[in-house]
Structure 1
């Protein structure tokens, strides 16, 4: 997870250039890194409060965009044009890549898989942060059950709306700026005559990138702490500061952060692409390991006569 931090900071540095390209990205990178490190060294309470603020901003924004997208699709925009599912017919809902036909559709799927999987990263933060709550037996199951609805509403529904209001062959989608100008929602609203959204969306996405980077540090440091408690990592990683934070684990997690300064000598959007590929592949491998571990754990419970519906006596450091 620690390699994900440079990816998120690279994204934030790219987004900042939407407003000002004269300032060296290293300045903004330093500011963002200082914020993330401070939040993670000052205890889980501060981390939780910052996440609540950032999450509230993201939720309100995505709800507004989904509602606005539906309004535009149904003809409520300034130009009054009703779109419906027109773009699913022409140019089509499924594009091809490199070669035409079914083979091109298959290649297009694999082309976008890494980007799509990158968007689903850090969902395991529910279990990791649950270990530091007062009532994990109640909070973790409740938060996990809500995850499905969050994924459906904020991911699936938003993608459905985007597919309805923006054609897949819109040239604006191919502009490699890495800023809000590439956002499908911005493109759709601009096509409909609304042009005030780019700066708003860019600011929200920037805070989202910083929030995700902070979550990556939190997950990685707590994972190291758990490994240390189980005897699979040096005991020094168990030491905590006066805020209850495993500061040595946080410090070890921050070792890879300087990689983000590659943005100073290269194009920020290009460097972001490098980190996306690395972190997404690592995340997919992690999901496979989690799935295999769960299946073996479930098989062990079943073999010993334990029911998932009962009160389990097992305990594991998260």
Structure 2
């Protein structure tokens, strides 16, 4: 690879090898692909399948309130992340930011934690395939479909980043169309267009035990399910190292997150809680077999429609696994580049794809998927808990890094260079960190009542000591120190103010941007 000497001039105090390696990921993802990948990160297994478990364990009110609270946290977190990623668009994104602006040990622990998160997410999606397949048959070999999809994911991620982007684009487009149809159909079903011809309204909110099922334990447990569902929203910034013109594209993605959260998550949660009773067979905590989306289409009186939606959800699971494997492999590559993992994981193909990182991440996911013999429904619940807590730790870290980033920018007099500003600073990041910390501690309430369940306790809280152990271990071994504002790395991959053209304001411009968002 030829390296432009002026473009890659190394600022004083920077390691030459570090900067050159970091620039080797090819920026091939187009604006069209990045916009759709952003949607793919927010629509996946957690929404299509996890909402069923959340409804059964917490009830319709808990489902709606928890998804709204976590959605608000995610929106603030994305504003924080968009501000940093637009200014410093590097591979690894928020994991790299924690190392740059907080402490190298924090970045080490967070990156390994999130890499494992992505490996587990890929495995959870493969397990979800088994659950969705049971809508049609129980006789199909449990491992066959999962292995085929696993192989296809590896191929899509190892060939070329443009192949990954194009596959993700069309799979995400299919998901978006399905959710739009689901929302329209759910309104029709609620108003009487169902197999019984009866108006449903809010009847399911008044069932015995509803609208809050399981008391405080049931309510708290929905937070981890919601965190799993929203997980991946932040990983769009990991594509920054391979996105064309990231300083322009990432702020556009972030600005649309609010409407996508409101439309896809909040509205879907409301309609699911209205139409599907929490007592519906197959939604129990340990036996999540059917998606509420499939149930809603079946309620319209068409078995064929239910099968079609279940098939679409299968493709969404493939899309979510594809995105998780991409993000995980890039994080492993970042670990290698930063000296936090063996250098072999930094090897690239001639298309500049980290092939060793892709293979190793997929291998770990495959081994976790192989543990499905314990029972797909139960394993999926455990994996969902682990991923949900891992997502929350990442959101906490993004908030902390954002506060430190602004302190560094101010101390070094670079605030005028910010291409995109987080308008909630400093209240937004501080509240997001505090609320996320509280949620992490209380969401495992259900594993203590009515009796203590050791396995569930581990799935809720194993990430906390693991993260702390990695942080303390790396800090002691490498003797890292807290990043001071005046010493932070705010030079590498910075886009200057002159390179970023401001967007034209006014109602006409807003209408044009809204039309572009609706058409994706």
Q: TM-score, normalised by structure 2?
A: 0.55
In the other structure, the counterpart of 2:96 is: none
Is 1:168 aligned to residue 278 of structure 2?
yes
CA deviation digits over 1:156-196, x for unaligned, max 9?
111111122223344553396533xx333443444454433
Q: Aligned match of 1:143 in 239, 248, 253? A: 253
Match for residue 318 of structure 2 among 196, 210, 228? 210
Note the C-alpha offset of 1:30: 1.3
TM alignment of 1:289-304, pairs within 5 A: 289-304=397-412
Cα distance change of structure 1 residues 228 and 308 upon mapping to structure 2, 3 Å threshold: farther
- Residue-by-residue CA offset, 1:222-252 (whole Å, 9 max, x unaligned): 1122233334333333221022201122123
> Against the structure 1 CA distance between its residues 192 and 51, is the aligned structure 2 distance closer, same or farther, given a 3 Å change threshold?
closer
Q: Which residue does the alignment assign to 2:371?
A: 262
Aligned to 2:238: 128
Provide the residue aligned with 1:110 in structure 2: 220
Answering whether residue 172 of structure 2 is matched by residue 63 of structure 1, we say no
Counting only pairs closer than 5 Å after superposition, residues 70-109 of structure 1 correspond to structure 2 as: 70-77=187-194, 79-90=196-207, 94-97=211-214, 104=215, 106-109=216-219
What CA distance in whole angstroms lies between the structure 1 residues aligned with 2:186 and 2:387? 31
Judged with a 3 Å threshold, the aligned counterparts in structure 2 of structure 1 residues 301 and 175 are, in CA distance, closer, same or farther, namely closer
Aligned partner of residue 143 in structure 2, secondary structure? helix
Counterpart in 2 of 1:248?
356
**How far did residue 4 of structure 1 move?**
1.8
Q: Could you say if the C-alpha distance between residues 174 and 29 of structure 1 is closer, same or farther in structure 2, counting changes exceeding 3 Å?
A: same
For structure 1, which runs of at least 5 residues remain unmatched after alignment?
Answer: 98-103
1:13 aligns with 2:130: yes
Give 5+ residue unaligned stretches, structure 2: 1-117, 421-489, 495-520
CA RMSD in angstroms comes to: 2.5
Q: Secondary structure at the match of 2:180?
A: helix
- Deviations 1:107-159, CA, capped at 9 Å, x for gaps: 11112222221111111232111321221111111112112211111111111
State TM-score, norm by structure 1: 0.86
Listed one character per residue, the Cα deviations across residues 33-91 of structure 1 (whole Å, up to 9, x for unaligned) are 10111111011111111111110111111100000011122234454422333434455
The number of residues matched between the two structures is: 307
Q: CA deviation at 1:304?
A: 2.7
Q: Provide the rounded CA distance (Å) in 2 between the counterparts of 1:17 and 1:85.
A: 30
1:34 pairs with 2:142: no
Offset of residue 293 of structure 1: 1.6
- What is the rounded CA distance, in whole Å, between the counterparts of 1:190 and 1:13 in structure 2? 20
**Mean alpha-carbon deviation: is it higher for 279-288 or for 166-175?**
166-175
Equivalent residue in structure 2 for 1:53, among 170, 175, 195: 170
Aligned residue for 1:100?
Answer: none
**Secondary structure of 2:303's aligned partner:** coil
Structure 1 212/188 Cα, relative in aligned 2: closer, same or farther at 3 Å? Answer: closer
